[in-house]
Amino acid sequence: MTETKYIFVTGGVVSSLGKGIVSASLGKLLQARGYNVTIQKFDPYINIDPGTLNPYEHGECYVTVDGHEADLDLGHYERFLNIPTTRANNITTGRIYQNVINKERKGDYLGKTVQVVPHITDEIKRNVKLLGSKNQFDFVITEIGGTVGDIESLPFIESVRQLRWELGQNALCVHLTYVPYIAAAKEVKTKPTQHSVKQLQELGIQPDVLVLRTERMLSNEIRRKVALFCNVAESAVVQSVDASTIYEVPLMLQQQGMDSIVLRKMGMEVGETPEMKPWREFLDKKSNAKDSVRIALVGKYVELQDAYKSISESLMHAATYNNHKLDLRYVHSEKVTAENVASLLDGMDGVVIAPGFGQRGVEGKFIALKYCRENNLPTFGICLGMQSMVIEYARDVLGLKDANSTEMNVKTPYKVIDLMEEQKSVTNLGGSMRLGSYDCKLFKNSLAYEAYGKELIQERHRHRFEFNNEYREQFEENGMRCVGINPETGLVEVVEVPSLKWYVGVQFHPEYNSTVLKPNPIFMSFMKAAIDNKKG
Ligand code: GLN
């Protein structure tokens, strides 16, 4: 193998332009050419990881196989590339500083003054090269969070400048900017792009490729103008116009030859343009589906749909592979009452009860679950959703009045969901949950076993509380079976009510493990049940 190539993706003008999608799309195109690609994200905030952030701040917290709580862009990377990410794929300013400060305390800097340049920038560069140095990747794509010009991202930008200097042709910079349409003038405007490129140039970086985010198709004239003002070849100015699905972006970029531009600039052979057949087949399936399946997602962060990004994507993958369009309705769990639940869930083909933390909105989940159970709706509980299934069942079927999780009520008379011994002494909330991939043994004659088609599976976790095994027998005797168990600890990972059509709760998060080319089996099974239910 030749040396690893490094591609940096920066963003200008405004945030939320979809740097993650552009990075994932470019990664996909290079991967389709047979290269090993990984994508990494640097986040300029001080938190060590996003695990302690509430979803209103940065949307969903994603979890890697090795148990790192990560930015949701890693979810896009995995869904596009179909390869797992790890702790090395998401690094914050907080972690960079923590590493440097730890080294300083150990005396590693031998009496030197520790400074942003070179010590912080060296640590950033070390983390970029770490992924390449194992020589397992042909391309490392590094997405720099934030917008160029932010105070916070300066050390990252400075590190990119140094790396470009050190690596020569083995490094390349893609800059994503915005070209707004001014309705009153009936014109698109390139000035914000010009300014943001200038800002990048002032920081010592000349972008090689520009990706212009736009709501309307841009003319060649506009691209020529941007090229002229920004010192970029006209062919290297590509546009990313609003698409009906993010999964179209790789094809849009391929059509403009973005991957070949990158290869050429890095002195690599271009070769034939890959067909991307399975990818196109997925998109065809998605656009050709005529019928839709209506799913309710009951959770408390419904105002902010990024909070459930991986769940909505997993549902969409599963609906597509079942030849249906996904009609997803968000139901605010705080607003569900015994009086309105029927009207809220009426006409749904299936219901998902979302993960979450804390008391707020949880009673609404219980009400929704009672309705689903009594009306035999396909119902899928994920993490807190599974715990809620257990609690509602305990209260209503087992007759354990006020049963609860000790997360919600430490004084509950029936702790059907409780903290494990090792969690009781935890005082630091960061990174201390049961995190990452764990084995789960599925029992035959269960929906879960049928879905996965095997006994031993691995799924990712992110929770502190667990099903309390002291109640297991009582649940089993009353029709709720524990059908998935952690083989090492005996912890319950999956529950089902076999007398109902499809009533399954999983303690893990299968949504972190569903990709465009490999939908998650348990989501597929739920979706099939919802579609069958709809057909009556
Ligand atoms: N709050 C619950 C726990 O900590 C569930 C967490 C979740 O849904 N991710 O166990």
Whether ligand 1 lies within 6 angstroms of the CB of 462 is answered as yes
**165 CB burial (10 A radius; 0-12, 13-18, 19+):** exposed
Tokens coding 171: 């490094």
Using DSSP's 3-state secondary structure scheme, residue 371 falls into: helix
Comparing CA positions, the residue from 110, 106, 140 lying closest to residue 31 is 140
Residues 289, 420: Cα–Cα separation, whole Å: 45
- What 8-state DSSP symbol labels residue 61? P
3-state secondary structure 392-453: HHHHHCCCCCCCEECCCCCCCCCEEEEECHHHHCCCCCCCCCEEEEEEEEECCCCHHHHHHC
Write out the catalytic residue numbers. Answer: 383, 509, 511
Tokens coding 114: 């520790």
Backbone dihedral angles phi then psi of residue 327, each to the nearest 5 degrees = -110, 95
Whether ligand 1 lies within 6 angstroms of the CB of 386 is answered as no
Whether ligand 1 lies within 6 angstroms of the CB of 496 is answered as no
**Ligand 1 centroid – CA 85 distance (Å):** 22
150-153 long-range Cβ contacts below 8 angstroms, 24+ apart: 150/44, 152/44, 152/45, 152/93, 153/44
**Ligand 1 centroid – CA 462 distance (Å):** 7
Residues 308, 404: Cα–Cα separation, whole Å: 24
Q: What is the pLDDT of residue 240?
A: 94
Structural element, H or E, at residue 463: strand 456-463
- Are 365 and 357 in contact, with CB atoms under 8 Å apart? no
- What 8-state DSSP symbol labels residue 3? P
**Ligand 1 centroid – CA 445 distance (Å):** 27
Backbone dihedral angles phi then psi of residue 296, each to the nearest 5 degrees = -100, 135
Q: How do strand 325-332 and strand 237-241 relate by DSSP bridges?
A: unpaired
CA-closest residue to ligand 1 atom 1: 357
**Ligand 1 centroid – CA 385 distance (Å):** 9
Closest ligand 1 atom number to CA of residue 407: 1
Overall pTM surpassing 0.75 (yes/no): yes
**Ligand 1 centroid – CA 443 distance (Å):** 24
Whether ligand 1 lies within 6 angstroms of the CB of 44 is answered as no
Instruction: Give 10-residue mean pLDDT values along the chain (536 residues).
Output: 88 88 97 96 93 85 95 96 94 96 95 95 95 83 94 96 95 96 92 96 96 94 94 95 94 96 95 95 96 96 90 97 97 96 96 95 96 97 98 97 95 94 78 91 97 98 96 97 96 97 98 97 98 88
Comparing CA positions, the residue from 38, 42, 35, 50 lying closest to residue 78 is 38
Closest ligand 1 atom number to CA of residue 355: 8
Instruction: Work out the number of other CB atoms within 10 angstroms of the CB of residue 430.
Output: 12
Tokens coding 486: 């952690």
Q: What is the pLDDT of residue 452?
A: 98
* Residue 344 identity (one-letter amino acid): L
Closest ligand 1 atom number to CA of residue 383: 8
Whether ligand 1 lies within 6 angstroms of the CB of 465 is answered as yes
Instruction: Work out the number of other CB atoms within 10 angstroms of the CB of residue 293.
Output: 24
**3 CB burial (10 A radius; 0-12, 13-18, 19+):** exposed
Residues 50, 72: Cα–Cα separation, whole Å: 9
**Ligand 1 centroid – CA 436 distance (Å):** 13
Q: What is the pLDDT of residue 403?
A: 96
DSSP states along 320-356: HHTT-EEEEEEEEGGG--TTTHHHHHTT-SEEEEPP-
Using DSSP's 3-state secondary structure scheme, residue 458 falls into: strand
Residues 346, 335: Cα–Cα separation, whole Å: 15
- Distant-in-sequence, close-in-space partners of 17: CB < 8 Å, separation ≥ 6: 11, 176, 177, 178, 213
Interaxial angle between packed helices 154-167 and 121-133, expressed in degrees from 0 to 180 and rounded to the nearest 10: 50
Comparing CA positions, the residue from 93, 95, 71, 88 lying closest to residue 20 is 71
CA-closest residue to ligand 1 atom 6: 463
- Are 240 and 212 in contact, with CB atoms under 8 Å apart? yes
Whether ligand 1 lies within 6 angstroms of the CB of 357 is answered as yes
Closest ligand 1 atom number to CA of residue 465: 10
Whether ligand 1 lies within 6 angstroms of the CB of 356 is answered as yes
- Are 213 and 17 in contact, with CB atoms under 8 Å apart? yes
- Are 174 and 197 in contact, with CB atoms under 8 Å apart? no
Q: What is the pLDDT of residue 135?
A: 62
Tokens coding 387: 């715990």
- Edge to edge, the sheet with strand 404-405 lists 404-405, 415-419, 465-467
Beta-carbon-side half-sphere exposure of residue 72 (alpha carbons within 13 Å): 22
Token pair 């148990």: residue: 67
**Ligand 1 centroid – CA 460 distance (Å):** 13
Dihedral, CA of residue 342, residue 344, residue 350 and residue 355, to nearest 10: -120
Whether ligand 1 lies within 6 angstroms of the CB of 145 is answered as no
Q: How do strand 492-496 and strand 503-506 relate by DSSP bridges?
A: antiparallel
CA-closest residue to ligand 1 atom 5: 384
- What 8-state DSSP symbol labels residue 84? -
**349 CB burial (10 A radius; 0-12, 13-18, 19+):** buried
Whether ligand 1 lies within 6 angstroms of the CB of 384 is answered as yes
Residues 63, 361: Cα–Cα separation, whole Å: 23
Pocket test for ligand 1, best of 407, 410, 426 (most atoms within 8 A of CB): 407
Whether ligand 1 lies within 6 angstroms of the CB of 432 is answered as no
- Are 402 and 412 in contact, with CB atoms under 8 Å apart? yes
**Ligand 1 centroid – CA 357 distance (Å):** 5
